[in-house]
Structure 1
Amino acid sequence: MIAINNLTFEIGARALYDEANWHIKPGEKIGLIGANGTGKTTLLKLIVGDYKPTSGTISMAKDLAIGYLNQDLLSYASDKSILHVAMEAFERQNQLHTEIENLLKKIETDYSEDLLHKLSDKQTEFEALDGYNIEYKAHEILAGLGFSEADTHRKLSTFSGGWRMRVMLAKILLQSPDILLLDEPTNHLDLPSIQWLEDYLRAFEGAVVIVSHDRWFLDKVINRTVESRKGKLTVYAGNYSFYLEEKSLREEIQRGEFKNQQAKIKQEERLIERFKAKASKAKMAQSRMKMLDKMERVDDVDDDNPSVNFTFKFSRQSGRNVTQIEHLSKSYPNLEILNDAEATIEKGDKIALIGANGRGKSTLLRVIAGADTNFTGKAETGYNVTKTFFAQHQLESLHLDNEILQELVAFAPKHTETELRSILGSFLFTGDDVFKKIRVLSGGEKSRVALAKALTADANFLILDEPTNHLDMASVNILIQALQQYEGTFIVVSHDRYLLDNIANKIWFIEDQKIKEYPGTYQEYEEWAAKRKVQTKGIATPPPPKKEEKPAPAPKPNDDKAKQLKKLNQDLGKLEEQISGLEKEIKQVEATLADEKIYTDAAKLKDTNSVYQAKKDQLKSLQQNWEALAEQIMELEG
């Protein structure tokens, strides 16, 4: 399909690729990975012809149709509706539609046979190209990427950059090319849209090459991994997780070969040193020296996975209740975000706040952070809580005339310069990079500096909004390690599911203008949500029968089954009453713990904490029983 042979591409004196080889076969789903700066985006530009190789070849069939999503498309502007822009993908169908419309107008006054034949030919071709369904297809893909029906009629120019990028992605998908080249396709998508894209790409019949830092997304879609490293392209016959295992095995073998070779070299060097001074052995020593010089050396394994070597420092511990939300209502014109919502963030909670864009995730974070006070109800910060808030707008708080290291030293004096350099290195600022002025940095670089600052704050409560934007996989892993060893409390909004699954012990989502909580990891939440979706579908109202058909008579349920269902539903109702009562009791205890006076009475605090924990454990047990009963009912009803 595409053959890359002995590709060399030089930027100045640096060879980004050095005689690299790679063959892309039809139907392959490939993840192109590597550290920032290893040339992944450059390679895609070489394939589409935007750049020319220094030497070597990239060959493909002349009629190969390539769909290329790149970040440059953010600058695309149009005052046409997004539906119109997406449908520009159907170039021939649109041309035929215009020609058919013109012919139909002419036929109103000219009934010549020639015109009728032309019209028939055009309509036949239009139908063969499925022209009558192109608008339906465009609506379907735009809906999958998160656009409402009303959105499709809005001008592209009225949308933000991220949403415009979604339109460009829709247009490329509608072209149904032979191969898709996607550069960070999940950057501007929310979780439901990412999940929709996963399903679409798995079913896509052509080949796909994806550059992405979202390893969960890659694992779901790809069946090949190609690593760009040290000017070469190395193919691994599996998804990203397979790549990690296989690479580890290859490195283990390489490390063993390196150690064996080093031992052999030392042994030879000792023999040469021992015999070179003796005339009778000098010839043998010279022969061994030549052999040693000609030996093809095995490289030692480079450590591409840096680890966190700094510790979080905060000067005081928070009370049990970090944030208490009561009767919280928040809305914008024509959009209600929260209505009488309630929630509690407790000390030690590691919360992932997830959901579709537009549901109010970032708004809720701003309320919790105290950056948004235009709401009704309460969002109170607890005793001894010190918080820091990271969001993209925090870039405005950076001091543009400071050097990067200087910015962190001024902000986090409790950390040593070595620790701060280590943190900056984790976020891709190495060597003399730390002396760059902040004003000369790109938006992505400024974002990484702001995130590094957030992680060095003297705060026992972190509030992080999309912290993985502009990070590569190595930096995401650093962030995961940092948050795993953080002893305080945090709440994170992110669409990086690998990050969420490795750091969160609670999942929050906004539903029906309420804050809902799932007590578990992201993986567990996904499994629960899938069961819940099936259950909801199971009790949905069936569609009405067609007019020409009579509805089939409902079958009579088996008496034993009906009795069992009745009993289970009664038990479920009793459990719901118990859960409701217990939740009220827990709120009363929480109100006691929220009173600062209790912290002056150690005995009373200890007793109240014991009661609180016992009630929480009891609630968890009741909720587990409720889920088990609900599953039994669902199985019987199915």
Structure 2
Amino acid sequence: MIAINNLTFEIGARALYDEANWHIKPGEKIGLIGANGTGKTTLLKIIVGQYKPTSGTISMAKDLTIGYLNQDLLSFESEKNILHVAMEAFERQNQLHTEIENLLKKLETDYTEDLIQKLSDKQTEFEALDGYNIEYKAHEILAGLGFSEADTHRKLSTFSGGWRMRVMLAKILLQAPDILLLDEPTNHLDLPSIQWLEDYLKAFEGAVVIVSHDRWFLDKVINRTVESRKGKLTVYAGNYSFYLEEKALREEIQRGEFKNQQAKIKQEERLIERFRAKASKAKMAQSRIKMLDKMERVDDVDDDNPTVNFTFRFSKQSGRHVVTLEHITKKYPAIDILNDAEAVIEKGDKIALIGANGRGKSTLLRIVAGADKDYTGTATTGHNVTTTFFAQHQLESLHLENEILRELQSFAPKHNETELRTILGSFLFTGDDVFKKIKVLSGGEKSRVALAKALTADANFLILDEPTNHLDIQSVNILIQALQQFEGTFIVVSHDRYFLDNVANKIWFIEDQQIKIYPGTYQEYEEWNSKRKLDHKSAPAPQPKKEEKKPEPVKAQTPDKSQQLKKLNSDLVKMEQQIASLETEVKTLETQLADEKVYSDSNRLKETNMAYKQKQDEVAAIKQQWEALAEQILELEA
């Protein structure tokens, strides 16, 4: 499909890629990963022809169609409504529709055989291109990306940058190209839209290349990982979790080879030193020196996963109740957010506040922080609570002329320079980086500075609104480590599910204008919520009551409880054996999906993938039956 051979791309004296190779095959779902600055976005621009390589070749079929979503599309403007903008994807269908309308108009006055034939040909082609369903398809994809029916009639120019990006994504998906190149597609999506996009991309028949910092999203969608590192592209035959395991294994092997080679080199050097002392052995010494010079050296493994090595300090502990919300009602002209809602944040809570955009997550955070006073009810901050509120707009409050280190020194004077350098090192600012001025930093770097400031504050309660925006996977991992060792309380809004699952012990969500609470991790919440939705869908519709003659009362038969329990336990054991057998089949299919013979054959891949999904559905269904049976046994044993 696309073959990248010996690609070199230089920026000034620096080679971003150095004779890199990569072949993209039909139907592959690929995650292109790597630290910020390793050239992921640049590579996508080279593929679509926006940048020219210094040397090397990129080959592809002439008729290959590419859909490219990039952050530059944020600046796209139009006075047309978003349905019209999305439907611009159907270029040929729109052209045919116009030609058909013109021909119909001509036929009103010029009813000739030639015009009738032309009209028939155009209508046949329009129907073959499914032209009568294009508006339905556009509505369907816009709805999946979070737009209401009313939204589709609004001009693109009336939406914010993030929502405009969703429209551009809809347009690219509607084009149904041979390959999708998606640069951070989840950046401007809420959780329901991300989940919809996951399902869409999994079913998409073409190839997909995704640049994303969202580990959960990558794991759900991709079957191949390509790492951009040190000017090379390394391919791993699995999703992001597979990549981590495989890379760790490769590094372990490399580390062993390096140690063995270093031991051999030292042994040779000792022999050379000994031989040099004797004239009769000088020739042998020279021979061994040449051998060492020719030896292909194994590099040691670079540790590019920094760890947080500072300790949070706050001068006083908060009381048991950090924030108490009572009878909170919050409304906007077009929407009611909360109605007589109540909740309590207790000391030690690590809360993830989740939900679709527009449901009031950021509003609730501002109420908790005391930044929004326009509501009824009371929000009471507890005894000894000291708060830091991080939101994206705070990037604008950074002092552009300050150096990074100076920015932290002015904010956290209690920390000495060594402590602040340690903190900045954890956020990937090392050596002379700390003397860079804020004004020259990228959006992601500014986010890291603002987060470092927030985490150095003398605060026992953190309020974090989308802290993972603009952060790469490495930086998200650092933030996870920092929050895991934070001994205070925090509430966070984020659409990064891997991040939420690793930091939160309680989930808040707004439903029916109330604050609902799930006591557990994000993964546990998702499983609970999926089951809840399934139960709701499978619940029988209420039937109208019929007036019937009441039957004569019958004396209830009492079953033998022990016999009933024995049968149910026997059924439970059989079910557990079925689950174990099915899970073994799932594992086998996962192994097949990682096999190059399978994923290089699109038909075989499709069949294996269908079998894999079917087995997963079977496992989910039988587990649900197992839960119902277990509950029945518990009730009888009570």
Given the two structures, how large is their TM-score scaled by the length of structure 2? 0.85
Q: Is the 8 A contact 2:447 2:471 kept in 1?
A: no
Q: Output the CA distance in 2 between the equivalents of 1:444 and 1:34.
A: 14
- 1:56-95 to structure 2, matched below 5 A, reads 56-95=56-95
Q: 1:632 to 1:170 in 2, by over 3 A?
A: farther
Q: Give the AA of the match of 2:226.
A: V
Asked if the contact 1:321/1:345 (under 8 Å) is kept, the reply is yes
Q: Aligned AA for 1:475?
A: S
CA contact (8 A) 1:402 1:438 kept: yes
Flag the 1:174–1:230 CA change in 2: closer, same or farther, 3 A: same
Could you say which residue in structure 1 is the equivalent of 2:278? 278
Q: Which amino acid aligns with 2:503?
A: I
The structure-2 alpha-carbon separation of the partners of 1:83 and 1:414, relative to structure 1 and needing over 3 Å to count, comes to same
Query: Against the structure 1 CA distance between its residues 563 and 242, is the aligned structure 2 distance closer, same or farther, given a 3 Å change threshold?
Result: farther
Is 1:266 paired with 2:299? no
For 1:235-258, what per-residue CA distance to the aligned partner results, in whole angstroms no more than 9, with x for missing partners? 000000000000000000000000
- The residue that corresponds to 1:46 in the other structure is 46
1:29 aligns with 2:24: no
- Aligned 8 A contact 1:309 1:419 in 2: no
How far off its partner does 1:23 sit? 0.5
Q: Secondary structure at the match of 2:253?
A: helix
Structure 1: stretches of 5+ with no match in the other structure: 545-553, 565-626, 634-638
Which runs of 5 or more residues in structure 2 are unaligned?
559-626, 634-638
Q: How far did 1:412 drift?
A: 1.3
Distance in 1 (alpha carbons) for counterparts of 2:56 and 2:336: 58
Q: CA deviation at 1:264?
A: 0.4
Amino acid at match of 2:45: K
**Shift of residue 528, structure 1, vs aligned partner:** 0.1
Other-structure match for 2:163: 163
Q: Is the 8 A contact 1:427 1:471 kept in 2?
A: no
Deviation digits for residues 501-543 of structure 1 (CA, Å, limit 9, x no counterpart): 0010000000011000000000000000000001111226389
Q: Name 2:462's counterpart in structure 1.
A: 462
The alpha-carbon distance between structure 1 residues 186 and 89, as it changes in their structure 2 partners (threshold 3 A), is same
Counterparts of 1:493-504 in structure 2, within 5 Å, are 493-504=493-504
1:245-264 equivalences in 2 (<5 Å): 245-264=245-264
Aligned position for 2:618 = none
Tell me the SS of whatever aligns to 2:307: coil
Where does residue 481 of structure 1 map in the other structure?
481
State the SS of the aligned residue for 1:463. Answer: strand
The 1:37–1:563 alpha-carbon spacing in structure 2 relative to 1, beyond 3 Å, is farther
Report % sequence identity: 88
Q: Are residues 1:322 and 2:327 paired? A: no
Measured after TM superposition, the shift of residue 424 of structure 1 is 2.3
State the Cα distance separating 1:55 from its structure 2 match: 0.8
1:529 alignment partner in structure 2: 529
- Please state how far the C-alpha of 1:38 moved relative to its aligned partner: 0.5
**C-alpha offsets along residues 257-298 of structure 1, whole Å, 9 cap, x if unaligned?**
000000000000001011102111111111111101111100
Distance in 2 (alpha carbons) for counterparts of 1:142 and 1:297: 54
In structure 2, the partner of 1:589 is: none
Q: Which amino acid aligns with 1:171?
A: K
Root-mean-square deviation (CA), in Å?
2.2
Say if 2:372 is the partner of 1:372. Answer: yes
Q: C-alpha distance in 1, partners of 2:299/2:59?
A: 32
Q: Which residue of structure 1 lines up, in the alignment, with residue 439 of structure 2?
A: 439
Please list, as runs of the form range in 1=range in 2, the aligned pairs for 1:536-575 lying within 5 A after superposition.
Answer: 536-539=536-539, 541=541
Residue number in structure 1 paired with 2:405 = 405
| CA–CA separation in structure 1 for the residues paired with 2:50 and 2:440 | 27
Query: Is structure 2 residue 179 aligned with structure 1 residue 216?
Result: no
Which residue number in structure 2 is paired with residue 140 of structure 1?
140
The alignment partner of 1:187 has SS state of coil
Cα distance in structure 1, aligned partners of 2:521 and 2:264? 50
Given that residues 69 and 181 in structure 1 are in contact (C-alpha distance below 8 angstroms), is that contact kept between their aligned partners in structure 2?
yes
Give the drift of 1:182.
0.3
Match of 2:587 in 1: none
Residues 5-55 of structure 1, C-alpha deviation per residue, up to 9 Å, x if partnerless?
111111111111111111000000000000111110011011000111111
Instruction: For 1:397 and 1:563, locate their aligned partners in 2 and report how far apart those are by CA, in whole Å.
Output: 75
- Give, as a single letter, the amino acid of the residue that structure 1 aligns with 2:382: G
Instruction: Give the equivalent residue in structure 2 for 1:580.
Output: none
Q: Tell me how far 1:427 sits from its aligned partner.
A: 3.0
**Secondary structure of 2:356's partner?**
coil
Does residue 243 (structure 1) correspond to residue 250 (structure 2)? The answer is no
Q: 1:389 to 1:540 in 2, by over 3 A?
A: farther
Alignment of 1:100-179 (within 5 A): 100-179=100-179
Q: Distance in 1 between matches of 2:632 and 2:435?
A: 63
Residue 226 of structure 1 corresponds to 226
Alignment of 1:558-597 (within 5 A): none
| Cα distance change, pair 277–543 in 1 and its aligned pair in 2 (3 A) | farther
Give the corresponding residue for 2:604: none
Name the SS for the 2:351 alignment partner. Answer: strand
Partner AA of 1:322 in structure 2? V
Provide the C-alpha distance between the structure 1 equivalents of 2:52 and 2:443, rounded to a whole number of angstroms. Answer: 28
- Deviation (angstroms), 1:229: 0.5
Q: Is the 8 A contact 1:183 1:212 kept in 2?
A: yes
Counterpart residue identity of residue 196, structure 1: W
Give, as a single letter, the amino acid of the residue that structure 2 aligns with 1:28.
E
- Asked whether the 8 Å contact 1:501–1:522 carries over to 2, the reply is yes
- Does the C-alpha gap of structure 1 residues 490 and 182 become closer, same or farther in structure 2, counting only changes over 3 Å? same
**Cα shift at 1:219:** 0.2
Per the TM alignment, residue 396 of structure 1 is displaced from its structure 2 partner at its CA by: 3.4
Mapped partners of 2:188, 2:162: distance in 1: 5
Give the secondary structure class of the aligned counterpart of 2:50: coil
Report the Cα distance in structure 1 between the residues aligned to 2:340 and 2:461, rounded to whole angstroms: 24
Alignment partners' CA distance in 1, 2:630 and 2:271: 77
Structure 1 residue 107, shift from structure 2 partner: 1.0
| Distance in 2, Cα, partners of 1:79 & 1:470 | 29
